[in-house]
Structure 1
Amino acid sequence: MLISPAFAQDAAGGGLALITQFAPLILIFAVFYFLLIRPQQKRQKEHKVLLSALKRGDRVLTAGGILGRVTQVKDGADEVEVEIAPNVRVSVLRQTIGDVLKPISANDTGAKS
Protein backbone atom coordinates (compact mmCIF):
# COMPACT_ATOMS: atom_id res chain seq x y z
CA MET A 1 0.00 0.00 0.00
CA LEU A 2 1.48 3.25 -1.08
CA ILE A 3 -1.34 5.61 0.03
CA SER A 4 -2.30 5.76 3.68
CA PRO A 5 -6.03 5.59 4.57
CA ALA A 6 -5.99 9.12 6.03
CA PHE A 7 -5.01 10.73 2.72
CA ALA A 8 -7.52 8.63 0.82
CA GLN A 9 -10.40 9.79 3.07
CA ASP A 10 -9.41 13.46 2.82
CA ALA A 11 -9.44 13.41 -0.97
CA ALA A 12 -12.91 11.87 -1.14
CA GLY A 13 -14.73 14.39 1.14
CA GLY A 14 -13.12 17.65 -0.08
CA GLY A 15 -16.28 19.48 -1.24
CA LEU A 16 -18.28 18.90 1.90
CA ALA A 17 -15.37 19.78 4.17
CA LEU A 18 -14.92 23.10 2.36
CA ILE A 19 -18.58 24.05 2.89
CA THR A 20 -18.49 23.16 6.58
CA GLN A 21 -15.37 25.29 7.05
CA PHE A 22 -16.86 28.42 5.44
CA ALA A 23 -20.42 28.10 6.81
CA PRO A 24 -19.58 29.67 10.22
CA LEU A 25 -17.82 32.60 8.54
CA ILE A 26 -20.81 33.24 6.29
CA LEU A 27 -23.16 32.98 9.28
CA ILE A 28 -21.06 35.47 11.29
CA PHE A 29 -21.04 37.94 8.39
CA ALA A 30 -24.83 37.66 8.02
CA VAL A 31 -25.34 38.33 11.73
CA PHE A 32 -23.03 41.36 11.62
CA TYR A 33 -24.83 42.70 8.55
CA PHE A 34 -28.32 42.47 10.01
CA LEU A 35 -27.43 43.57 13.56
CA LEU A 36 -24.79 46.26 12.93
CA ILE A 37 -24.29 47.38 9.34
CA ARG A 38 -27.89 47.62 8.10
CA PRO A 39 -29.30 49.58 11.09
CA GLN A 40 -26.38 52.03 10.94
CA GLN A 41 -27.01 52.68 7.23
CA LYS A 42 -30.69 53.26 7.97
CA ARG A 43 -29.84 55.78 10.73
CA GLN A 44 -27.45 57.61 8.40
CA LYS A 45 -30.14 57.94 5.72
CA GLU A 46 -32.68 59.24 8.26
CA HIS A 47 -30.16 61.78 9.60
CA LYS A 48 -29.38 62.99 6.08
CA VAL A 49 -33.10 63.52 5.40
CA LEU A 50 -33.45 65.31 8.76
CA LEU A 51 -30.61 67.71 7.90
CA SER A 52 -31.92 68.42 4.43
CA ALA A 53 -35.36 69.29 5.89
CA LEU A 54 -34.02 71.91 8.33
CA LYS A 55 -35.97 75.16 8.26
CA ARG A 56 -36.07 78.44 10.10
CA GLY A 57 -37.59 78.16 13.57
CA ASP A 58 -36.63 74.52 14.23
CA ARG A 59 -35.22 73.75 17.69
CA VAL A 60 -32.03 71.76 17.29
CA LEU A 61 -29.51 69.92 19.44
CA THR A 62 -25.89 70.07 18.29
CA ALA A 63 -23.35 67.31 18.75
CA GLY A 64 -21.74 69.44 21.48
CA GLY A 65 -24.96 69.47 23.49
CA ILE A 66 -26.00 73.04 22.69
CA LEU A 67 -29.72 73.71 22.25
CA GLY A 68 -30.79 76.46 19.91
CA ARG A 69 -33.26 77.69 17.32
CA VAL A 70 -32.42 77.86 13.61
CA THR A 71 -32.52 81.47 12.44
CA GLN A 72 -31.08 81.11 8.95
CA VAL A 73 -30.52 78.19 6.61
CA LYS A 74 -27.93 78.98 3.96
CA ASP A 75 -28.82 77.22 0.71
CA GLY A 76 -25.91 75.55 -1.02
CA ALA A 77 -23.70 75.86 2.08
CA ASP A 78 -23.00 73.50 4.92
CA GLU A 79 -23.59 76.21 7.52
CA VAL A 80 -26.72 76.93 9.53
CA GLU A 81 -27.15 79.95 11.79
CA VAL A 82 -28.45 79.00 15.24
CA GLU A 83 -29.57 81.31 18.04
CA ILE A 84 -28.41 79.80 21.32
CA ALA A 85 -29.46 82.72 23.58
CA PRO A 86 -31.29 86.01 23.01
CA ASN A 87 -29.25 87.96 20.42
CA VAL A 88 -26.47 85.33 20.41
CA ARG A 89 -26.16 83.63 17.04
CA VAL A 90 -23.55 81.13 15.95
CA SER A 91 -22.89 79.40 12.66
CA VAL A 92 -22.71 75.64 12.90
CA LEU A 93 -22.11 72.96 10.31
CA ARG A 94 -25.14 70.93 9.29
CA GLN A 95 -23.34 67.70 10.12
CA THR A 96 -22.94 68.77 13.77
CA ILE A 97 -26.69 68.98 14.28
CA GLY A 98 -27.64 65.80 16.07
CA ASP A 99 -31.40 66.09 16.32
CA VAL A 100 -34.37 68.35 15.64
CA LEU A 101 -36.45 68.67 18.81
CA LYS A 102 -40.22 68.74 18.98
CA PRO A 103 -41.74 72.03 20.09
CA ILE A 104 -42.85 72.11 23.72
CA SER A 105 -46.57 72.67 24.10
CA ALA A 106 -48.40 73.81 27.24
CA ASN A 107 -49.77 70.29 27.77
CA ASP A 108 -46.28 68.70 27.78
CA THR A 109 -44.83 70.84 30.59
CA GLY A 110 -46.39 68.71 33.31
CA ALA A 111 -48.56 71.50 34.70
CA LYS A 112 -51.92 70.34 36.03
CA SER A 113 -54.94 72.22 34.78
Structure 2
Amino acid sequence: MFIANAYASTAPAGDAFSPLIMLVVFGLIFYFMILRPQNKRVKEHKSLVESLSKGDEVLTSGGLVGKVVKVSADHDYLVVALNDNNEVTIKKDFVSAVLPKGSIQSL
Protein backbone atom coordinates (compact mmCIF):
# COMPACT_ATOMS: atom_id res chain seq x y z
CA MET A 1 0.00 0.00 0.00
CA PHE A 2 2.71 2.54 0.96
CA ILE A 3 5.63 0.87 -0.83
CA ALA A 4 6.01 1.45 -4.56
CA ASN A 5 7.03 -1.35 -6.87
CA ALA A 6 10.70 -1.39 -7.94
CA TYR A 7 11.44 -2.05 -11.59
CA ALA A 8 14.79 -2.71 -13.27
CA SER A 9 16.15 0.17 -15.28
CA THR A 10 16.91 -0.39 -18.93
CA ALA A 11 19.88 1.89 -19.58
CA PRO A 12 21.19 2.35 -23.12
CA ALA A 13 24.41 0.48 -24.03
CA GLY A 14 26.40 3.73 -24.43
CA ASP A 15 26.21 4.54 -20.72
CA ALA A 16 28.46 1.60 -19.82
CA PHE A 17 31.56 3.43 -21.16
CA SER A 18 30.85 6.89 -19.74
CA PRO A 19 32.67 6.24 -16.41
CA LEU A 20 35.66 4.95 -18.37
CA ILE A 21 35.65 8.02 -20.63
CA MET A 22 35.47 10.33 -17.61
CA LEU A 23 38.39 8.48 -15.99
CA VAL A 24 40.49 8.97 -19.13
CA VAL A 25 39.56 12.68 -19.28
CA PHE A 26 40.55 13.17 -15.64
CA GLY A 27 43.80 11.31 -16.26
CA LEU A 28 44.64 13.61 -19.18
CA ILE A 29 43.81 16.71 -17.15
CA PHE A 30 46.00 15.44 -14.30
CA TYR A 31 48.88 14.79 -16.69
CA PHE A 32 48.77 18.13 -18.52
CA MET A 33 48.01 20.30 -15.47
CA ILE A 34 50.23 18.68 -12.83
CA LEU A 35 52.72 16.05 -13.97
CA ARG A 36 54.05 17.62 -17.18
CA PRO A 37 54.82 21.09 -15.71
CA GLN A 38 56.42 19.50 -12.64
CA ASN A 39 58.69 17.31 -14.78
CA LYS A 40 59.66 20.38 -16.81
CA ARG A 41 60.62 22.30 -13.64
CA VAL A 42 62.66 19.35 -12.35
CA LYS A 43 64.54 19.10 -15.65
CA GLU A 44 65.27 22.86 -15.65
CA HIS A 45 66.55 22.74 -12.05
CA LYS A 46 68.74 19.74 -12.82
CA SER A 47 70.35 21.56 -15.76
CA LEU A 48 70.82 24.66 -13.57
CA VAL A 49 72.60 22.62 -10.89
CA GLU A 50 74.82 20.87 -13.44
CA SER A 51 75.85 24.18 -15.02
CA LEU A 52 77.13 25.73 -11.77
CA SER A 53 80.74 26.86 -11.91
CA LYS A 54 83.23 28.83 -9.86
CA GLY A 55 82.42 32.54 -9.81
CA ASP A 56 78.65 32.22 -10.29
CA GLU A 57 76.49 34.32 -8.00
CA VAL A 58 73.70 32.16 -6.57
CA LEU A 59 70.57 32.41 -4.48
CA THR A 60 69.86 29.44 -2.22
CA SER A 61 66.46 28.16 -1.20
CA GLY A 62 67.22 29.38 2.32
CA GLY A 63 67.60 32.94 1.09
CA LEU A 64 71.40 33.20 1.17
CA VAL A 65 73.08 35.13 -1.64
CA GLY A 66 76.71 34.40 -2.37
CA LYS A 67 79.44 33.65 -4.85
CA VAL A 68 80.52 30.09 -5.65
CA VAL A 69 84.13 29.60 -4.53
CA LYS A 70 84.52 25.85 -5.05
CA VAL A 71 82.48 23.21 -6.87
CA SER A 72 83.00 19.64 -5.77
CA ALA A 73 82.70 17.43 -8.87
CA ASP A 74 82.64 14.05 -7.14
CA HIS A 75 80.23 15.18 -4.43
CA ASP A 76 77.11 17.27 -4.65
CA TYR A 77 78.42 20.19 -2.58
CA LEU A 78 79.40 23.82 -3.18
CA VAL A 79 81.39 26.28 -1.13
CA VAL A 80 79.64 29.65 -1.28
CA ALA A 81 81.28 32.86 -0.05
CA LEU A 82 78.66 35.05 1.61
CA ASN A 83 81.18 37.88 2.15
CA ASP A 84 84.96 38.19 2.56
CA ASN A 85 84.98 36.41 5.92
CA ASN A 86 82.21 33.79 5.70
CA GLU A 87 82.05 30.69 3.54
CA VAL A 88 79.28 28.13 3.69
CA THR A 89 79.22 24.59 2.31
CA ILE A 90 75.84 23.72 0.85
CA LYS A 91 74.35 20.94 -1.22
CA LYS A 92 73.99 21.78 -4.92
CA ASP A 93 70.27 20.97 -4.83
CA PHE A 94 69.63 23.97 -2.55
CA VAL A 95 70.60 26.49 -5.23
CA SER A 96 67.36 27.98 -6.50
CA ALA A 97 68.70 30.55 -8.98
CA VAL A 98 71.86 31.83 -10.62
CA LEU A 99 71.96 35.61 -10.39
CA PRO A 100 73.43 37.95 -13.00
CA LYS A 101 77.02 39.11 -12.45
CA GLY A 102 77.25 42.07 -10.09
CA SER A 103 74.05 41.31 -8.19
CA ILE A 104 75.84 40.94 -4.86
CA GLN A 105 77.55 44.30 -5.13
CA SER A 106 74.27 46.04 -5.99
CA LEU A 107 72.76 44.76 -2.74
Smaller-chain TM-score bracket? 0.7 to 0.9
Distance across 2 between alignment mates of 1:91 and 1:36: 33
Considering fraction of residues, name the structure with more helix. 1
Distance across 1 between alignment mates of 2:49 and 2:61: 13
1:96 aligns with 2:98: no
Runs of 5+ in structure 1 lacking a partner?
Answer: none
Query: The residue matched to 2:55 in structure 1 has which SS?
Result: coil
Equivalent in 49, 64, 67 of residue 66 of structure 1? 64
Amino acid at match of 2:92: R
TM-score scaled by length of structure 1: 0.78
Calculate percent identity across the aligned residue pairs: 34
Superposed CA RMSD in Å reads 2.1
Deviations 1:67-103 (A, max 9, x none): 0000000111011000011121110001111111122
Runs of 4+ in 1 over 2 A off after TM superposition: none
Distance across 2 between alignment mates of 1:42 and 1:62: 20
- The equivalent of 1:38 in structure 2 is 36
Q: CA deviation at 1:23?
A: 1.5
TM-score scaled by length of structure 2: 0.82
More divergent stretch after superposition (65-74 vs 22-31): 22-31
Equivalent in 17, 20, 39 of residue 19 of structure 1? 17
